Structure 1
């Protein structure tokens, strides 16, 4: 069925499959992809859980259940998890696709294709009708006709690369990049972002007691949430998310009378509310069309709520219903669904076609696709669509019989254990690098580079060699490290973003401008060359173009800078290469030949070459032995090197995190049969009920990044990735006296407890004896895992929103970041009586062992 976001996992597995002819996804291939998710705060990846879940056959339905039950970290919204997974899968897949599109547009088109791909197929396939439909929509948007025939796509469908090849050959290479970008962006907004309605409206909210003031915001309605921003994102400008209202099956809608206040008079007012959480009133300052706008908003909101009850999104529902009807009959009955899907798309842009005033009173008129109506898609399975099982992820498409053939023989064990394609490609490239780096010092100097070119039998001038060397030597330090070599190879040898004739012509132009043969251009050389080509151009324009290329302000530009400017849309200076010069470029261009020879060297290189070299290079370590006085071996080297690190600049995390080691799990106490009961009254604590046989004891462990990751937390050190804070926070020092637990927590505050909330924490102990910081997580509905962490002094904990924790057992001074903008779900610790007939609950506090 279309619309499933997890198709991206199958795409990533196939892109890195050493045996692409295999017709079913293997457990090993799936595991290699899922290991990449372990570092996300939205996931809780455990290798033993993965291994116990997947045995012989891997079906798409089983994987969806695994993601929802085991991979999703507690307290994390599912759309955050899916965003993280999709981005990681794109990073794994993108290098395998060849297309003229820039990376951002290729990613958007990949996401669109994933929504139309048959889930469970391997390799992932878009059926022929979907390919034709998408191609026709793109052609219509570009103002062209789809040049198709019966053999454009195979009868059994096309992979994403097949789709790219067809679109690239017919349109992308001959169409304005700006027009292609607008086309793909509109498609993406419709089928991926699922934007249902947008517009300027006034809003005010109430979370506990008082209403906020009316403020004007740009509203965007998507499945599951109503977001509001400070302004719409137009062109390259960005907008800042000011807040959102979660839309669930329990969300209430209410039409309200017009608002008349001292400052404002607002019409078309309505309310969106979630009981005990938030109320949001929305209104329009305009007159006349306000009631019509209110009806449109309420209609869209009702559609989101109804589809939420069915466990899917509006686009998924429409696609699934059309598929079901198509299975029953292939007559014109699908036209109504097509019209409904078209209406969903139209709503996403109707407010931007001259009816949406911005803050300054102007109107936004975006590029819109003509005739952007969907047409029927082909069937994907022989099964009937049915309502998703409650354990499925909420935005999954309807279940269909798995397409995986579990009876097909699996590939050989030896092939299962082979490294994935990314690792193989990197090792082959390292072997090529090693051939050039004859000194073995991890750098390629100009002499080694020149010797390698001559060893290929190429008769290049010193000027041409300097050009290539400076192109590879990105930081211009006179030597090439492996990272620079890898970037050059992937960009110039493997990438096909522009024709070889165009690149060769650009090289010829650069060599012509480089009068002194240094491999770089100063401003004098650049200006002199441009003037020769176009006498009428102004000096200011030449200077502006040179500054744009000279981003590091070194006073000179490399061929890479020169190439990027003229291949980028709107470079700022007319391209110095006439079309006839590109047509006259011969295949025998020496630099072109060099790149083809380098690619051939790579293809001919055996990946084992590197392993043999590493084994010989580090033999003295692997065969290392130390004997004690008794003659017995008391120290020895491992059976092989874990990694071979060449000289260069690295992030410590890149060389200090060893992916071959299993993740560490902290000591934790597991209590089964607990029940978390949140309070429905603001300011009043709930309770968490423990079974009668719980002895109140929990284990303690030392806080490390590996241990904290089990609970979705980490240390906020210099290597920490960026985080997003949705609320305003404050940082302050708090001192916990010795009697804090006994005199306040136990007596004055109703007893010890644990809590969770939407805002994030930073907690840093400023003294050695700082007590115990409690972290916990719910596994399933009634199983609690708890650890008491001892945190080293001046080590700052980062605790994201939703993480269960407690500071009841802290001592001394802690520097803490917290917020007062969200409610805290605090529960007291209580346990059942050991007597069968006694239903009383008694409070307690944790004891540490």
Structure 2
């Protein structure tokens, strides 16, 4: 029986196997984590449990494969689809026409030949995809690796005709167990993605709450699906994009999830509003976390203080690409395209500064004694106008006690400008090439990077993988 604990285990295993995080397990991903399984066996598993025929196993299908949610079970017969006599008779006639050699199953060649003779406009690749979908319908006992059985074809016809009848839509509020809900969702063509299921698991204290959460989202999805069925002809022409897929050698190599993010009608738009997506989470850039640090002010303008670091810090600072999303972690942004005003309190100038390749060694290390971080009240604007610009480094304290600091070395695309507001910690120690910079001669609070034992760390800018 599916419990919160067993589903949690399945979810954890699914996320580990889903290497590319697309919400589907392919034969290649299973092979990488199940090396003792033969390729044919893995493909067989995909064909059996891939109920929607997308070439992979989603989290619900994976739970069925792991026997957490039985695919067919007498206990849940209330949600099973029973074929009518008319359906059985029509499928027997169709199966007889398809099974030309009478061996009890329909081979791929027999299937495609029948489609051609009936004038069905499907290419060979799409016909093969339909063949595999039908072949996968049913339980493991129904599966024949050589072709489609009568039971496969009957299951397919029953499910397809069920989905075409509005009056037969499932009432999810009437199903009182988790297995039944998820099995009904699979039959009804609805899906729960990994992130949704993970949210349910984290918020539910017991099976009753979990069941209620699953009921709620399936009811919402069913209502939306039913509303989609009432779309106008103009809207329906876009529906193909919702389930768009392109398949390569027996696998999906391009696809679109079942959702249009924005419906853009003819008219004039602000570009920044068109590309603002509230559903996307904030991005946290690659950064090093250094704990047990202490910023010691010098007390004098123009004289360095110290940022005292732990003796075991290895000096590595990871890189990331400077975008509005990644820079926002530190309170900075890319100036181009930003619709915002800034207040310049004192006179500043914009000048070009060129940093030669030996700047860091001969000035930062030999003259100054090592790199430092700084902050000040005036704003910075720094435009990269070189192909090899080095790194604009930003930092911030992660706690009120200022004992933990995060640091990132940003790569700034050419002809892009980083806006670093007053108060944001940064350094130009790692720049190269020519930068066009707005700056002031105001007071600067600067702190040299020093370990607690007095040694100067050897900084390494490490490119993120």
TM-score (structure 2 length as normaliser) = 0.48
Q: Which one has more relative contact order, counting CA pairs under 8 Å at least 6 apart?
A: 2
